[in-house]
Structure 1
Amino acid sequence: MPSPCDPEYAPIGDVSTALMMIDSRLKTLYSGRTTADPGQQKLVDQYTASMTPQGARDVLDGACTLIYLYMKWLRMAHEEHGRDVVEQVVPSLVTTLRQMTRTVAPEAVPTMAGLVVSSAMDLSPSLWRKQYGKWTKAEMTALEATATLLAEHINRVTDDQDFATRLITDALTRAEEGEPDED
């Protein structure tokens, strides 16, 4: 019996915009700056200010899709080496989120851990979260941080600062061209 949280039933959302936001955060991390490039941040701020409520929900679903895809890639990579992705990824993610006390509310950390674990179990993170009610404001920053940390983890594992972004852009390109995913 299929789960109501099966990714087949999940909205994909605006993955491109979510990826743009995550890529911007990654570039800031890798530049050594503590704040985003002012020009890039201005573009992100202008875009987010112009979003409709539906547009914001679409970006939120897009961020969940990124988390799902990143965890799918990490799960496959860990399974190749006989390791459990939950055991290897979740503890360090939770520790890092807990250390981000100025940006990530403590009450959002368990939800982010649940999103990542649901993704590792091949469930839709957005549908998993939906069963607990509406998203909270505290979870918005935590969601962006979670997607960014997973992307950075992938980049570190592959020793390529653009790998996680390229992983998604390649998948989007294949989807637009109607090609099957490479699993």
Structure 2
Amino acid sequence: MLIDSRLRSVHKDRTDADPEQEDLARQLISSLGPEGLEDVLDGACTLIFLYVKWLREAHEAHEAHEAHDKDVIEYVVPTLVTTLRRMTRSIPPEAIPTMSGMVIAAAIGLSPTLWRQQYGDWKKTELTPLEATAFLLAEHINRITEDPDFATRMITEALTQVEAG
């Protein structure tokens, strides 16, 4: 929900930003408490895993047609790092290796949550970079598919399948 809200706000005219929706998102996060916040962090890591899994499969399918030897790490991580580095007001440089490490972990099939746990608790300075990473991956998928709602719909369909299964 949070990533979808960010995607929609970016694609709207900046003057159309919905402060009420932003307030609701802030209230939701602040009302969760420590356990709820951990669930949101795990959810963001799950989004990263699913987005990278989709990107890996898309690149593998493309490689089969084009005979390229590049993988998702080679295509996605450099762009992600470059974009995060440009976000100097929101993303501290020391958080970028953690975010790229999580994406690489997901690209080789490891859970970003389990990979991240080896480094201890989340730091407050890593929360915005985590959200930005999930957002940037979703936006990358939307650009590839030329569908501004594809990443959100993909997650919604995955959740529906889990509930039905």
Q: Give yes or no for TM over 0.5.
A: yes
1:56 corresponds to: 37
Q: For each residue in 1:124-176, what CA deviation from the matched residue of structure 2 results, as whole angstroms up to 9, or x when unmatched?
A: 00110110111111110000000000000000000000000000000000100
Output the amino acid matched with 1:52: G
Given candidates 63, 80, 84, the residue that maps to 1:93 is 80
Counterpart AA for 2:56: R
Range moving further from structure 2, 161-170 or 77-86: 77-86
Unmatched 5+ stretches in structure 1: 1-19, 179-183
On the 8 A contact 1:28/1:34 being kept in 2, the answer is: no
Q: CA deviation at 1:57?
A: 0.2
Aligned to 1:71: 52
> Aligned pair 1:121/2:108, yes or no?
yes
For 2:124, give the aligned amino acid: K
How far apart are 1:23 and its partner, in Å? Answer: 0.5
TM-score where L is the length of structure 1: 0.84
User: In structure 1, what is the equivalent of residue 132 of structure 2?
Assistant: 145
Poorly superposed stretches of 4+, deviation over 3 Å:
none
Structure-1 residue corresponding to 2:141: 154
Question: Which letter does structure 1 place at the counterpart of 2:130?
Answer: L
Q: What is the number of residues matched between the two proteins?
A: 159
Rounded Cα–Cα distance in structure 1 between residues aligned with 2:28 and 2:12: 23
Query: TM (normalized to structure 2)?
Result: 0.93
The answer for unaligned runs of 5 or more in structure 2 is 64-69
User: Could you say what the CA RMSD is over the residues aligned between the two structures, in angstroms?
Assistant: 1.2
Indicate the residue corresponding to 2:19 in structure 1: 38
Within 2, Cα distance between the matches of 1:56 and 1:35?
29
Matched residue type, 1:92: T
Provide the rounded CA distance (Å) in 2 between the counterparts of 1:78 and 1:106: 28
The one-letter code matched in structure 2 to 1:123 is L
Could you tell me which residue of structure 2 aligns to residue 27 of structure 1?
Answer: 8
Equivalence for 2:66: none
CA distance in 2, matches of 1:34, 1:118: 38
1:120 counterpart letter in structure 2: A
More helix by share: 2
Percent of counterpart pairs with the same letter? 64
Deviation at 1:32, TM superposition (A): 3.3
CA distance in structure 2 between the aligned counterparts of 1:77 and 1:134, rounded to whole angstroms: 33
Residues 37-60 of structure 1, C-alpha deviation per residue, up to 9 Å, x if partnerless? Answer: 212101101111211100000000
